[in-house]
Structures are given as structure tokens and as C-alpha cells.
């Protein structure tokens, strides 16, 4: 690795400053039902699960808040949830993790998304999704959402738009929120949604797609074949972005900055057990790093280490600064 231990320690320490980050996007509850299967049901040819454990976790964009809290970063969340049991549970879980929830909009006509996973020790048996068939919100809910966003901007140093394509971030709201951030001079990072046209993310401070998403974005602008070295240049040029980071899985990540130019760093993951949630970790760490004065390259090195820890854990996980430093020291010893 090409990162000095003192510099890395200083970069990690900078994350838990007085800076505050606002997360925006669709949210939900991830419910896990664990159990054991030893027989088939006499009622139908399906396994009978004897439940041994249940867990409830923050899902979708709320997992960004999980990551920020684990890093010691002050944060808030804006979303639209239903006036239901899952909505109340979501707010309670967020508050227990120290995320500010006063900007969340509760809509009587909406359903708070939950995804119930039924698992044994060796496999997932099924997933049960509770969500509306069509993702749209009324004028009253959207008006409150935009009003809360403008209020929140005054007290935050960075914004993360985490697009899960469930209605909160859509063709109108994405551009409106980015423009408001630009007007206020607030850093805004975007994790794009699948299958959406690139122009929706125009003007963002940072765009962080994975490789397949980046291919879709440049394709939507008319570029059929494009080497990785050119993707970020095209996105920055055509979308008026300041920075682009493309995560490349086992190949690490590539980054482009108007001032710093192009860089690519290799992955540091030593064990890959589960990649779910790694993208949330990456954008959380990069955003926290940049709003605290790090260069894009230094912020990406932190995110690279953080992702290396997260993918070694089972399920959607988070990482703290002690774990990051431990992996860094291990890599430098080896």
C-alpha cells in the first residue's frame, strides 16, 4: 500500500468531527427470521421452519445512517414513510443509533417498506416484501419533503442521495435537490438508481456508481463501448460533475476529480464473505472524508479499507474506525 500510517490515522480521526451529513432516499425495515428445518409440512410440499431467532435492522438508505453512526459521524435522514407500525419502528431504530429523524415525513397514504427474509443456517428460504405496488407520493407529502430538505440544508455540511428507485428520488426530486445543494454550497454525493438516465444526476458534487451502473449511465448518453479509463471523464464532462468514483468489485475502485485527475486503487479485501451493503459503506466514508477536508484519493483509500472489513462480515454490516485501523496495520505488516 502507498498510504503512510500517520496520514491514515489522521484521516480516520478527521471523520468524527463536528461536520454533519444528511441522507436522503427510500427507507425500510429488514426483518430476519432464522430457524432450523428438519421436516416437510404435511399440508404442502414445503419445509417447516422452527424459528430460533429474529432480527430487525435498518434497510435501504437508512443503512447509510448505520454506517455514519458506526464511524462517529453526526447525521440526519429525510425520507417519506407510512403512518404504520414499521414506520414507527424505523424511527425508533434510527433514534437508538443517534440519527436525527425530525425531517422524516409521515404520509397516511403510504406504506413503510419492509423485507422479511426467512433463513436457515445454510440458505435463504424466501423473502416477503411489504410495499406499495406503485411508488408515488401525494402533493402534501412531497411539499413537506421539499420543505424539510431546505430546512435541513442549513445545518448540514454534506448530503448523500441514495437512490433505490422506490419513489422518494425520482426524475423531479433528484434534480431539485441537487440544485438546492448547489445554491447553498453544500456537497452532494449521489449513489445512482438502476436503469435511470444519466441526466438526472447532472450537477452533483460526486457520483458513485458501480461498474455495471456506470456502463448503463454512459450508454444512456450514447456511448456504446467505453473503456473504464474514459467512463469518469465522460460523466464529469457531460453531467457537469466535480468527481466520479466507480467501484469495481475485486478490482478495487477508479476515481476522477476535476483537480486531481484520474486514479485507480486495488481492493484490499482479504476475505469476501458477503458484499451486500458494501456500496453504502463506500459512499458513507467518501462523503464523510471529503466534507472533513480530505482529497478524493485519501477519502477513497479510507473507503477501500472500510469496504475490505465489511465484505468479510456476514449480511449487511458496518465498520468502525478501530476495525479499519486494524486491517490497515495488518496489510502493512504483510
Residues known to be catalytic:
280
DSSP per-residue string spanning 94-159:
HHHTT-B-TTPEEETT---EEEEEEE-SS-EEEEEEE--SS----HHHHHHHHHHHHHHHTT-SEE
- Three-state DSSP class for 48? strand
In this structure, what C-alpha cell is assigned to residue 60? Answer: 435501504
67 φ/ψ sector (left φ>0, alpha ψ -120 to 50, else beta): alpha
Q: What pairing do the DSSP bridges indicate for beta strands 187-191 and 158-162? A: parallel
- Three-state DSSP class for 310? helix
Residue 264's beta-bridge partner residues?
254
Using CA atoms, how far residue 66 sits from 17, 155, 174, in Å, is: 17, 20, 23
Report d(CA 309, CA 323) in Å as an integer: 7
Contacts with 167 (C-beta within 8 Å, 6 or more apart), sequence order:
26, 80, 135, 136, 137
Cα radius of gyration (the chain): 20
Contact of 312 with 326, CB cutoff 8 Å: no
Report d(CA 198, CA 3) in Å as an integer: 33
Amino acid at each position: 500500500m502507498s498510504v503512510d500510517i500517520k496520514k491514515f490515522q489522521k484521516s480516520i480521526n478527521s471523520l468524527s468531527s463536528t461536520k454533519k451529513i444528511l441522507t436522503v432516499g427510500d427507507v425500510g425495515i429488514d426483518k430476519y427470521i432464522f430457524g432450523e428445518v428438519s421436516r416437510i409440512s404435511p399440508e404442502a410440499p414445503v419445509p417447516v421452519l422452527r424459528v430460533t431467532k429474529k432480527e430487525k435492522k435498518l434497510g435501504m438508505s437508512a443503512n447509510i445512517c448505520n454506517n455514519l453512526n458506526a464511524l462517529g459521524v453526526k447525521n440526519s435522514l429525510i425520507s417519506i414513510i407510512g403512518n404504520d407500525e414499521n414506520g414507527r419502528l424505523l424511527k425508533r431504530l434510527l433514534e437508538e443509533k443517534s440519527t436525527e429523524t425530525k425531517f422524516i415525513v409521515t404520509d397516511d397514504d403510504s406504506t413503510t417498506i419492509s423485507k422479511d427474509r426467512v433463513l436457515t443456517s445454510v440458505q435463504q428460504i424466501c423473502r416477503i416484501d411489504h410495499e406499495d405496488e406503485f411508488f408515488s407520493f401525494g402533493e402534501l407529502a412531497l411539499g413537506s419533503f421539499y420543505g424539510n430538505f431546505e430546512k435541513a440544508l442549513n445545518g448540514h455540511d454534506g448530503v448523500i442521495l441514495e437512490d433505490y428507485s422506490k419513489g422518494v428520488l425520482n426524475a423531479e426530486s433528484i434534480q431539485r435537490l441537487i440544485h438546492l445543494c448547489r445554491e447553498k454550497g453544500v456537497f452532494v454525493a449521489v449513489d445512482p438508481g438502476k436503469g435511470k438516465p444519466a441526466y438526472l444526476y447532472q450537477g452533483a458534487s460526486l457520483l458513485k456508481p458501480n461498474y455495471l451502473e456506470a456502463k448503463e449511465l454512459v450508454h444512456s448518453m450514447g456511448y456504446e463501448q467505453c473503456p473504464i479509463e474514459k467512463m469518469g471523464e465522460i460523466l464529469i464532462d457531460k453531467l457537469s460533475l466535480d468527481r466520479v468514483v466507480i467501484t469495481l468489485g475485486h478490482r478495487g475502485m477508479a476515481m476522477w476529480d476535476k483537480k486531481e485527475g484520474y486514479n485507480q486503487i486495488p481492493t484490499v479485501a482479504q476475505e469476501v464473505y458477503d458484499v451486500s451493503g458494501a456500496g453504502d459503506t463506500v459512499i458513507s466514508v467518501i462523503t464523510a472524508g471529503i466534507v472533513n477536508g480530505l482529497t478524493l484519493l485519501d477519502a477513497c483509500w479510507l473507503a477501500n479499507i472500510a469496504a475490505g472489513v465489511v465484505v468479510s462480515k456476514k449480511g449487511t454490516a458496518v465498520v468502525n474506525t478501530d476495525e479499519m485501523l486494524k486491517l490497515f496495520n495488518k496489510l502493512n505488516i504483510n
